[in-house]
Structures are given as C-alpha cells and as structure tokens.
Amino acid sequence: MIIKIVTFNIAHGKGLDGIIDIDRQAQLIYEYKPDIVFLQEIDMYTKRAGEKNQIREFSKKIFLPYCSMESNITLEDGYYGDGIISRFPIGFSVNYLMPLTDLKHEQRGILCNRISLGTTKINLFSVHLSTYYDERILACKELNRIISKIDKNEIIIVGGDFNVGVTRLGKGRYTFEKSDTYEEYEILSKKLKRLPNMEDTWFSSLGQGCIDTIFYSKNIELKKYETVDSNNKSDHSAIYAEFCI
C-alpha cells in the first residue's frame, strides 16, 4: 500500500505578500491528494487569523475528514501550535511539550497521533523545533526517548520544521548557517531514516535554508519525494513523499 505524506509550515496562512489565506495554501496541497498532512504554525481562533479554526478549515479544503491540533502557546485570545490531518481515523492524540532552556523562550511541542490501517499501527509526529540550538538538541533526544517506547513492528513518520542551522538573534531576527551535517538529524537518525531532500524550504527576509523534512522508520520504503514550491503562499515550501507500507 502507498501512503502519501505532506509536511508544510503554513505560517498561520500568511504568504510573503502579507495576505493570510488558508484557501490558497490548501489548494496547493490538495493537488497532491495526500493521505496525511503535517502542519506547523497553525492558529485557532486568533484575531490575526480572523478567529477561524485553521486546522478544521484546512481539513475541509483538502477533503480529509480527521484532524488534530494541540496548542503550545496562547495568542491573541486564541491558540497556536501544530496539527495533523488524516484520511484515516485518529485513534490517539497527545502533545509532548519540549524542554526550555529559558522560560522566556517560546514553548514548543511535538504532536503525536496514532492511526490504524487494519493491523498496521502508524505513529505520526508533527514537529516544529526551537530556533535555539540547545533546545533543539534536547527536543530531539526527547523525541528519541518517546520513539523508543513504541513497538518495533509499528510504523513511525515524523514531519516538520526542524529549524536546523537557524539561530535567533532577537525578536524577528534570525541567521541560517548551512552545514553538511546537523547534530539534530544525527540524533534522530539513530532511530529513523531521513528524506534526502536538499532544496531550500524556508524563504524570508530573515533568511533561507533547507529546514523542513520527513523522518520515517526503517520498516517502510520511500518511493518518491518532492519539494513543493509554495509560490510565496507561505515563507516555507512543503515536502511531499510517498511510502510503501
């Protein structure tokens, strides 16, 4: 069986033109007819998003009936976090809050959903790691700890924005340093395989680089993958992949 996966940082629907428009982002993804979509930077009921439930809106627009979102922080009388949309019923959902090195830093989380395809169990993780290196390392080690508790016969797929090479300089100021290897990826590669995508996935006046990817367990086979140009509908490109399970 082929399962189609997309991961996409939607920047709360905001394009590089400053317009917040979930519809045009969803249309971009719908063309790939995915089975699972990992989303990062989603708003729920915030003022800037027009008080909409963005995960539900996105789910409807791509015609996938099941979705899950967890809040990492409260924002503008609403919530902000990560989500997962699925063609298949979600049997279990939990959000793991990641360690902070400073209580003033933004709280990050890793959303986990579990779905079943017959007797096959699939564990899905939507990830948006910190813009601080030390916190990314702690989060990757924590994710490995969580994964180590999962039965080896079950499937694991992790999609998201890993922020590798990114350093926060201050509010709204970042740098990106490209590297042949990243410690974050090396930690996760002890448990999982990674998509070999190399094209830049983050584009903004703050910086650009390849910081979005998908990890997957060794008991499934990667068939194809593609970096999906968002055409400025977000400051990130999406990543599409097909796996044989």
Three-state SS for 104?
coil
What the block records as the tokens of 209 is 């680089």
CB atoms within 10 A of CB 134: 13
Q: Categorize the per-residue pLDDT at 3 as very low, low, confident or very high, splitting at 50, 70 and 90.
A: very high
Domain boundaries, the chain: 2-244
| Among the ranges given (51-60, 102-111, 149-158, 203-212), the one the predictor scored with the smallest mean pLDDT | 203-212
Q: Categorize the per-residue pLDDT at 171 as very low, low, confident or very high, splitting at 50, 70 and 90.
A: confident
Cα dist from 42 to 11, 38, 79, 101, 147, whole Å: 7, 11, 8, 24, 24
pTM above 0.85, yes or no: yes
Which parts of the chain are beta strand (E)?
A: 2-9, 36-44, 66-75, 78-86, 90-97, 109-117, 120-128, 155-161, 166-170, 173-176, 193-194, 202-204, 207-209, 212-216, 221-228, 238-244
Is pLDDT of 175 > 90?
no
Is pLDDT of 211 > 90?
yes
The pLDDT value recorded for residue 10 is 98
Pick the CATH number of 2-244 from 3.40.190.10, 1.10.10.10, 3.60.10.10, 3.90.550.10: 3.60.10.10
